[in-house]
Amino acid sequence: MFDKNEQGPPSLLKGAGGISYLTESSAKQIINKVLNISTADETEIFVGSESSALTRFAENHIHQNVAENSFGIRVRAIIDKQMGEAHISKCDDDSLKKVVTDAIEIARVTPPDPELLPLPGSQIYQPVEAYHEESISPMQRAKYIAKAITLCKNAGLTAAGIFSNGSSSSAMGNSNGLFAYHRSSVVNFSITVMGDDSSGWAQKHSRKSADIETEKLTGIAIQKAELNNNPKTMEPGKYTVILEPDAVAGLIGYLAFGFNALAVDEGRSYLVGKVGKKIAGESISLRSDVYHPLHQGRPYDGEGIPTQCVELIKNGIAAGLVYDRLTALKHNVEPTGHGEGGHNSYGAFPDCPVMDGGGATLEEMIALTERGVLVTHFHYQNLVDPMQVIVTGMTRDGTFWIENGKIQYGLKNLRFNQKILEMLNNVEMMSEPVLASGMVVPAMKVNQFNFSSGTEF
């Protein structure tokens, strides 16, 4: 229900530490108000709120500690295929009138877009469980961190990291009867542990704090930092690598843009001429799956279309693309619910990636490696060549030399330049997939991974 307030959003459900979310009924109320104000032929409204708290620590103490709340409304107004868009961060009556007026004013001076489709009508969405009701106070976050710091201090090491929790909620509606609502929560713990010449890292995020074992994660990071001390230099070259899941996640994400059907049409995807053909090893299957239990992402896209699960790579074959409404229409297929909305100049983006894995454990992969490198995760990756999907980056926080099935010593960090599809043709073993850095991916043992240079630490 609305609270009468000078300029602020409607009444929000609050927990300790100020975490809140926009209720479905409040979102509907705002959307209906905007629809009543708007005189456009068609009107589309997005409303969203985000509330988060993050306690950050470094040098074994909390040095930054924040709680942030935000709220926003976006209105798209369409008049005779002319579209205008405006945003505002308040929902009092004057602000709603202003955002509608701005959107209509912009629409009136924008040339008509003959390809602009009518807004979709009411849709049916698959339910997801993305929100867990929980309040974590600043003092509780500080206690989690204090325990982690104590473990590090006892080991003679220095800790840095974050403990955060938050929620977001969003809704969209339009003048053709569409209404969609989604809310989600997240708890995240990440720790980097440093010695004089070494470091280790661990991270986990989930919907609820009960899933985050901060002391266990700290123990993993401590172990890596201790194993990694006095790191040795390794010459650049091609090596067998074992990539932990966060390292795999740091690479696989660079494939996503290529599965955009509009990008393929426009020639800016590496999949031009390759859909239906082999692009990776037979063990590789990748899909966009918002409904996976470890994802439970938003079940609709920026156009309000229900999101489908789409096979992107099936047994090494480029199996499917994602389509926004306009590109789908041109191809006489159904949109897949990955569109951005509006003029859709980018096209569609396959989020919530899930890669099938295998049955090997990380320990088994190490034991079966004669000579190789174990990588915890990567740093500052970037796409160097989009058409060959060449990615560069550095190893970080736990890179180890394996020989005769055992970790022998730590290595100084290395830069790689790697064609990702070539890498996926050289996968020897995989573990079960887990949630890592926002993706569901396995650990992988890969042959012929290209390290191109090294650094001083």
Site for another protein in 318-347 (CB under 8 A): 342-343, 345
Q: Which of 413, 426, 431, 437 binds another protein (CB under 8 A)?
A: 413
Verify binding: residue 232, another protein, rule CB under 8 A.
no
| Cα angle 97, 101, 106; round to 5 | 155
Task: Indicate the helix (H) or strand (E) that contains 225.
Answer: helix 214-227
Rounded CA-CA distance 59/67 in Å is 21
Q: Which of 1, 127, 129, 267 binds another protein (CB under 8 A)?
A: 267
Rounded CA-CA distance 432/2 in Å is 47
Report how far apart, in Å, the C-alpha atoms of 108 and of each of 101, 112, 113, 249 are: 11, 9, 12, 44
Verify binding: residue 64, another protein, rule CB under 8 A.
yes
Q: Which of 22, 34, 96, 160 binds another protein (CB under 8 A)?
A: 160
Q: Which of 15, 138, 405, 438 binds another protein (CB under 8 A)?
A: 138
Task: Kindly state the number of chain residues that form the binding site for another protein, as judged by CB under 8 A.
Answer: 99
Verify binding: residue 380, another protein, rule CB under 8 A.
yes
- By C-beta, is 29 or 60 nearer to another protein? 60
- By C-beta, is 278 or 314 nearer to another protein? 278
- By C-beta, is 140 or 315 nearer to another protein? 140
Q: Which of 37, 42, 72, 134 binds another protein (CB under 8 A)?
A: 72
Structure tokens at 305: 């279309």
Work out the burial of residue 370: count CB atoms within 10 Å of its CB; fewer than 13 is exposed, 13-18 middle, 19 or more buried: exposed
Verify binding: residue 69, another protein, rule CB under 8 A.
yes
**Part in contact with another protein (CB under 8 A); list of ranges 92-100, 169-177, 311-319, 329-337:** 92-100
Verify binding: residue 417, another protein, rule CB under 8 A.
yes
Q: How far is the CB of 230 from another protein (least distance, A)?
A: 17
Verify binding: residue 230, another protein, rule CB under 8 A.
no
**Part in contact with another protein (CB under 8 A); list of ranges 210-218, 351-359, 393-401, 430-438:** 393-401
CB 191 within 8 A of CB 213: no
How far does the chain reach from its first CA to its final CA, in angstroms?
A: 56
Handedness of CA 285, 291, 295, 299 (dihedral sign): positive
Rounded CA-CA distance 440/351 in Å is 11
Interacting residues with another protein between 179 and 208 (CB under 8 A): 190-192, 194, 201
Rounded CA-CA distance 262/224 in Å is 43
- Amino acid letter for position 349: F
Q: Which of 29, 135, 137, 206 binds another protein (CB under 8 A)?
A: 137
